[in-house]
Chains A and B, each alone.
Chain A
Amino acid sequence: MIKRLLLVLGLPVVLFVTWYAASANSENFYAPPLRQILAAFVDTWTPERLRADVLPSLARLGAGYLLAALIGIAAGVAIGANPRLRAAAEPVLEFFRAVPPPVLVPVIMLFAGIGNGMKVIVIVSGCVWPVLLNTVEGVRATDGVLADTARAYGLTGAARLRHLLLPSASPQIIAGLRQALSIAIILMVISEMFAASNGLGFTIVQFQRSFAIPEMWSGIILLGLLGFGLSELFRLAERHALAWYHGLRDAQRRS
């Protein structure tokens, strides 16, 4: 337990101390001493602020992420299992994936207005791709022998999806979901740069514009902490969902 704690905290502590020491006498306006940033952190991120700005962000993040996961997996399975559909859809999907979200925001705004819906769509528009792409790859790479066996046993439709495609693609799907998570956070910030009146991204941009630099850095640190927390949550969920997979690997390791 202590060892694990040491492993988790060791490097961050070293980095933190290095930053603290290196910046202690900084007179650069944009790189203030860490001391100031920490003081700003305590002053800025009060419970009211967290409720007013961080909660709405998290709600939009959650909605966008879940929607992207659903769409990504559903479309990914359909496209991955159907070479014809994949050939038809791929250039269009690739086209949209390559368009940078910030230039897409004004376009999305035309169609989705300027409310929460727009921000959720921006998040979906960016983080659906890793899920989709990985699902397609995972389904495509379904073991040929397994697929033949499944066919021999007459496994079709939902059963085939449930027992063959999803399980064999799930390590890849999880990898995609994990990437989508960090992209979702980035897009949460980007979406809040437009037509927003609250949110973590909005607040950071506002600090940046009003030259409240220690506060801006404190927001970036909060974003990092948020990302770390969400990623830990994700790890727990992953361990649960992929228990069979890790179990299999462990069993092979033991034998």
Chain B
Amino acid sequence: MTAVGAAAPRTAPGGRALLGLSGLAGLLVLVELLPRTGIVSDSYLPPTSRILAALADEAATGAFWVAVGDTLTAWAIGLAIAVVAGVGAGVLIGAVPVLRAVTASTVEFLRPIPSVALIPLAVLLYGSDLGSTLLLVVYAAFWQVLVQVLYGVADVDPVADETARSFRFGPWARIRYVLWPTALPYVFTGVRLAASVALVLAVTAELVIGAPGLGAVIAVAQTSNAITTMYALIVVTGLLGVAINLAARYAERHFLAWHQSVRGEAPS
């Protein structure tokens, strides 16, 4: 951790991807070796090759893709609701100090309530349909966005704000030109965190409630004692997460090209 910023080795885009792949390859080799060498019994942690074979078997079935589609649908709808609500609420509350003071205790009270505790409520309202998953996804992802937005709003440079005021910017103009640009990097971090939390919750809800999707298939694999298939499906959830993060990073780089955290990066 010695070199950073200007002196950091500029890694070519290809090299970056190569490094990432080598990291993944290391993991794959480790999982192949652990059971092969007998450090872990292969009936509880099957080697990579067997997991990948099970993955290929699953991927050949239509039911698997329907499940992936169900999970991604729940994820996308839930995330969209959470982001819109979280950004809207965060900007509004962050910009109006009185609102922030009034709601702070309520937010702090509601936020830590684990979404898993809401499962009976979700089943009661929606049975084991998409609605149950959405309730849990939105509840968990919303706070991620909201908290980041609030931190972002609090990070507004007071000098910039004063300047805007002295130029007689109205409240909306201040939100648009001062608050929003400052908060944007935080918003993106929030969305990125929310995107993965939403995926985790979508799968968890499907797993526990049985709503259609990858989680329900994992539950079936678990109760059927199909350990290799279970690992294969867990890998799928991980891969989905990686894909989602790559997309979020791409969006971040695209929209935040002017910001310090992105500016210092190698172009890619």
Residues in B whose Cβ lies below 8 Å from that of A165: 1, 4
The range of chain B's interface size is 35 or more
Complex interface residues of chain B between 188 and 239 (CB less than 8 A to chain A): 189, 192-193, 196, 199-201, 203-204, 207-208, 215, 218, 222, 230, 234, 237-239
Q: Is B171 an interface residue (CB 8 A)?
A: no
**Among A10-18, A19-27, A40-48, A116-124, the stretch in contact with B:** A10-18
Task: Give the A-B contact count at a CB cut-off of 8 A.
Answer: 227
Question: Taking A10-B102, A156-B2 as contacts, is the C-beta distance between A97 and B241 under 8 angstroms?
Answer: yes
- A81 near B6 (CB under 8 angstroms)? no
Q: Is B8 an interface residue (CB 8 A)?
A: yes
- B112 near A224 (CB under 8 angstroms)? yes
Closest to A141 in B: B261
Residues in A whose Cβ lies below 8 Å from that of B264: 140-142, 144
Q: How far is the CA of A219 from the CA of B120 in the complex (A)?
A: 14
Partner of B218, one of A103, A148, A186: A103
Q: How far is the CA of A30 from the CA of B122 in the complex (A)?
A: 11
Residues in A whose Cβ lies below 8 Å from that of B173: none
Residues in A whose Cβ lies below 8 Å from that of B185: 137, 141
- A81 near B105 (CB under 8 angstroms)? no
A141: min CB distance to chain B, Å: 4
Q: How far is the CA of A88 from the CA of B215 in the complex (A)?
A: 29
Question: Taking A100-B215, A231-B112 as contacts, is the C-beta distance between A182 and B143 under 8 angstroms?
Answer: yes
Q: How far is the CA of A88 from the CA of B199 in the complex (A)?
A: 23
- B147 near A179 (CB under 8 angstroms)? yes
- A232 near B108 (CB under 8 angstroms)? yes
Q: Is A147 an interface residue (CB 8 A)?
A: yes
Complex interface residues of chain A between 151 and 172 (CB less than 8 A to chain B): 151, 156-157, 160-161, 165, 171
Contact with B along A172-193 (1 / 0, CB 8 A): 0001001101100110011001
B165: min CB distance to chain A, Å: 12
Residues in A whose Cβ lies below 8 Å from that of B60: none
Closest to B268 in A: A87
Complex interface residues of chain A between 35 and 87 (CB less than 8 A to chain B): 77-78, 81-84, 87
Q: Is B62 an interface residue (CB 8 A)?
A: no
Contact with B along A132-144 (1 / 0, CB 8 A): 0110010111111
Question: Taking A186-B114, A224-B113, A227-B108 as contacts, is the C-beta distance between A157 and B23 under 8 angstroms?
Answer: no
- A30 near B121 (CB under 8 angstroms)? yes
Most buried by A among B114, B259, B265: B114
From DSSP, what is the main secondary structure of chain B's interface residues?
helix
- A141 near B239 (CB under 8 angstroms)? no
Residues in A whose Cβ lies below 8 Å from that of B20: 87-88, 90-91
Residues in A whose Cβ lies below 8 Å from that of B207: 100, 102-103
From DSSP, what is the main secondary structure of chain A's interface residues?
helix
B102: min CB distance to chain A, Å: 5
Q: Is B109 an interface residue (CB 8 A)?
A: yes
Q: Is B66 an interface residue (CB 8 A)?
A: no
Complex interface residues of chain A between 90 and 141 (CB less than 8 A to chain B): 90-92, 94-104, 106-107, 110-111, 129-130, 133-134, 137, 139-141
- A81 near B4 (CB under 8 angstroms)? yes
- A77 near B1 (CB under 8 angstroms)? yes
What are some 29 contacts across the A-B interface (CB < 8 A)? A7-B105, A8-B104, A15-B106, A82-B8, A83-B11, A87-B15, A87-B20, A91-B23, A92-B23, A95-B241, A95-B242, A98-B196, A98-B200, A98-B242, A100-B204, A103-B204, A103-B215, A104-B234, A107-B45, A107-B234, A141-B185, A141-B264, A171-B155, A189-B114, A208-B120, A224-B112, A224-B113, A227-B109, A232-B108
B residues with a Cβ closer than 8 A to A are: 1-9, 11, 15-17, 19-24, 26-27, 40, 44-45, 101-106, 108-117, 120-121, 124, 140, 143-144, 147-148, 151, 155, 157-159, 162, 185-186, 189, 192-193, 196, 199-201, 203-204, 207-208, 215, 218, 222, 230, 234, 237-242, 244-245, 259-261, 263-266
